[in-house]
Amino acid sequence: MTTPAGQPATATPEPTSGAPAVAALARTSVGYLGLWFGLLTCGTLFLGWCGIAGLISPFMEAARRRRIGRLGMHSIFSIFLRILHAFGIVKVDNAALLALRHEPALILAPNHPSMMDVVLVISRLENVGCIMKAELWDNVFLGAGARMADFIRNDSAQSMIRLAVRDLQRGSHLLIFPEATRTVRAPVNQLAGGYALIAKKAGASIQTILIETDSPYLRKGWPLFRLPPMPIRYSVRLGRRFEPREDVDSLVDEMERYYIEELDRGNRSTEALPDAAGPAMRRAA
C-alpha cells in the first residue's frame, strides 16, 4: 500500500499502556523522596553533631578531640550513603579503600568528578584530615564538626601547607584533591602543585585514588536537588602510589599523565565537560 504521493504508508502506532509511564513516575518519585530524605537526615545529623562538637570540644585533649571528630564525620557520611543505597539512588563500590585503614600517614589524592568524592572516601576511612574551603569554616552544618576533626582551611597557602605537614606527621591520612576543584576538563583538570609540595615537606607518600561514575550528579553546575538518572554508580579503586621528590613540577606532570592514562582506560570521554565554572584551574606557583 502507498500513499497518494507514492510514498510507503507508515503503520498507525498502537495505543500504548500507561503502566510504563506510571512505573517511571513512581521510580522518579521514590528517587526524589530518597534524595530529600538522605539530604535531610545528613543535614540534621551534621547540625546536631556541630552542636555537640561546639559544647564538648573545649573540654577535650587535642588528640582525642580530633579522633572523635573524624569518627563523627565518617559515621555521618556512612549513614548518608546507606540511605541513598536503600532507596536505589546510588550503587557504590569503594571497598578498595579499606586496604588503607591501617596504613601510616598518607596523602590521599583522588580525581574529583563531583562533590560526592569526599563522602565516598571519608565514609570508608576513620582518620582522614581534609583541606576544605575557608567559607565552609563557619557553616552552621559543617563548621564546628570540621574544627573538631581538625580539618584545614585553604585561605592561606602558607598556613595550609604548615598545618597539612603537621597533620601528616601525626600519622593522619590527608585528603587533597590534586585538581583543586571539580573536574571540568575530562578526564582530569591540569593538576595544582600544592599537594606535591606538602608531600615533599612532610616526606609523605601520595596514594592516588581513581573515582569513576556514569552520572553528572553534583559535577560543576549541577544543583544539589536536581535528580539525575538512577541508579548513580560510583567505582573507587586504588591507583599507583607516588613517593615525594625534590622536583615538585616533574612529580605533578607525571601524576597528571598517570590520571589521564588510567581514567581513559575506564572508557571515560576525553572531550571537555560543560565548563560551568570557567577555564580549568592552572597549576599553583
Instruction: Encode pLDDT of 85-125 as tens digits.
Output: 988 889 999 999 999 999 999 999 999 999 999 999 999 99
CATH number at residue 200: 3.40.1130
218, part of any domain: yes
Take residue 282 and report the three cell numbers written for it.
592552572
- Which position has the higher pLDDT, 25 or 166? 166
Whether 174 shows a pLDDT value over 60: the answer reads yes
Is 2 part of a structural domain of the chain?
A: no
Residue-wise pLDDT tens digits, 217-259: 999 889 887 888 888 999 999 999 999 999 999 999 999 999 9
154 touches 133 (CB < 8 A): yes
Residues 6+ apart with CB under 8 A from 36: 225
Query: Does the residue 16 lie in any domain?
Result: no
- On whether residue 17 sits in a domain, the answer given is no
Q: Indicate the number of domains in the chain.
A: 1
Judge whether 172 lies within some domain. yes
Q: Is 125 inside any structural domain?
A: yes
**Is 278 contained in some domain?**
no
pLDDT in tens, 38-71: 888 888 999 999 999 989 999 999 999 999 999 9
| 220 within a domain of the structure (yes/no) | yes
**Which residue range is the domain that position 66 belongs to?**
22-265
Cα 174–chain centre separation: 14
Q: Flag whether the pTM goes above 0.85.
A: no
The pLDDT of residue 155 is 86
